[in-house]
Amino acid sequence: MKRKILELLASSHDHFISGETISRVCGISRAAVWKHIDHLKKEGYLIEAVTKKGYRLLGNDDMLETVFFRLPKDRVIGSSHIYLEEVGSTNVEAKAAALDYPDGSVVISDSQTSGKGRLGRYWDSAKGKGIWLSLILKPRISMAEAMILTQMAGAGVCDALKTAGYEAKIKWPNDVVVQGRKVCGILAEMSGEPEQLNYVILGIGINVNQNPSDFPEELRNKAISLKMVDSEEKSRNLILDLLLERLEHYYALVKNKDTAEIIKFCRNNSATLDNQVKVIYNDKIIEGKAINLTENGGLIIEDQTGQTMEIISGEVSVRGIYGYV
């Protein structure tokens, strides 16, 4: 019931909504409305109460869940959501919910105690400082085509950060960087048959308001938050709102099998292309120049002998980024 009231308040934006309307819509007494509002306030929501006018939700720039209540009703991304104050990993939670939730659902949390990177690595997810979310996606594509989803997420994040004024770039395959340091990591996990996916869990972590001291020692030269770029506290709600809108746009293209725009965006905003790279591939280190992205999102590398090869996943170090000199 408390969530229903929050949803009502959030969806009426800056307008007051009377206690009477809330009590009618929710089918509870005015006293019960007051009690729930009081609980919401104790949770940290800023709610203004004015006699004869009713209640309204103020700014709440840092209450991530309110963003979902305000989304246009025709959205796929965020059509359903699960908000958790704290969780081990939103990817793990999303996997558990995947069969019961529709395409485009989002699991989001203020804090992850065991945030996951690729290949068993960790993702540092300081409480209240970033956007830690997982999308549950069910596109009708094959496993081979699913590589595009990581590029789609990279494009969505990069585009949202650029709209917010940051010079963000995509480091293939799954990082977004600002000033040569990692501001976002993406983790795609899939389930299904080679010909048809059941679902993909697409985890996205964006560092928003960390100070350097919020990161563990080994990340200090490698990671960055948006706040560290210009020393200003950022509205996580604003970044989340921009991100959900851009993901909606790019995901619709994936579903229509019309991915050229995504690849074009990734090419135009790549931190990898035209640079020397080292790739760990089949236990070998390959050095060469990153020259292009394929239509599926693979990376084409040209080695010193002029031979080209396509890499579909792996560890890529780019000269000039994260200390590769």
Asked if 182 interacts with ligand BT5 (CB under 6 A), we say: yes
Please give, one letter per residue, the 3-state secondary structure of 123-164.
CCCCCCCEEEEEEEECCCCCCHHHHHHHHHHHHHHHHHHHHC
Question: How many chain residues are in contact with ligand BT5, going by CB under 6 A?
Answer: 29
Shortest separation between residue 207's beta carbon and ligand BT5, angstroms: 5
Cβ at position 79, least distance to ligand BT5 in Å: 19
Q: Is the peptide bond before 72 cis (omega within 30 degrees of 0)?
A: no
- Give the containing element (helix H, strand E) for 39: helix 30-43
Stretch that binds ligand BT5, among 200-208, 239-247, 258-266, 284-292 (CB under 6 A): 200-208
Q: Does 187 bind ligand BT5 (CB under 6 A)?
A: yes
* Using rule CB under 6 A, residue 273 touches ligand BT5: no
> What is the closest distance, in whole angstroms, from the C-beta atom of residue 179 to ligand BT5 in the complex?
13
The answer to the question of residue 156 lying near ligand BT5 (CB under 6 A) is no
Is residue 134 near ligand BT5 by the rule CB under 6 A?
yes
Site for ligand BT5 in 94-133 (CB under 6 A): 112, 115-119, 121-124, 132-133
CB of 224 to ligand BT5, least distance (A): 8
Strands (E) in 210-322, as ranges, are 276-281, 284-293, 299-303, 308-311, 315-318
Site string (52-91) toward ligand BT5, x via CB under 6 A: -------------------------------------xxx
Q: What is the DSSP letter of 80?
A: S
**Residue 297 touches ligand BT5, criterion: CB under 6 A:** no
Strands (E), 222-275: none
Residues in CB range of 321: below 8 A, 6 or more apart: 171, 177, 180, 271
Binding residue for ligand BT5 (CB under 6 A) from 150, 151, 207, 209?
207
With respect to ligand BT5, which residue has the nearer C-beta, 60 or 207?
207
**DSSP-assigned states of every residue in 189-237:** EEEE-SSSEEEEEEEEEEE-S--GGGS-GGGTTTB--HHHHHT----HH
By CB under 6 A, the residues from 216 to 235 that bind ligand BT5 are 219, 222-223
For residue 113, what are its two tokens? 């105690």
Pairing of strands 168-171, 130-137: unpaired
Q: In the bound complex, what is the minimum distance in angstroms from residue 45's beta carbon to ligand BT5? A: 24
Could you say which DSSP state residue 76 is in?
S
Residues of the shown chain interacting with ligand BT5 in the complex, contacts defined by CB under 6 A: 89-91, 112, 115-119, 121-124, 132-134, 174-175, 182, 185-187, 203-205, 207, 219, 222-223
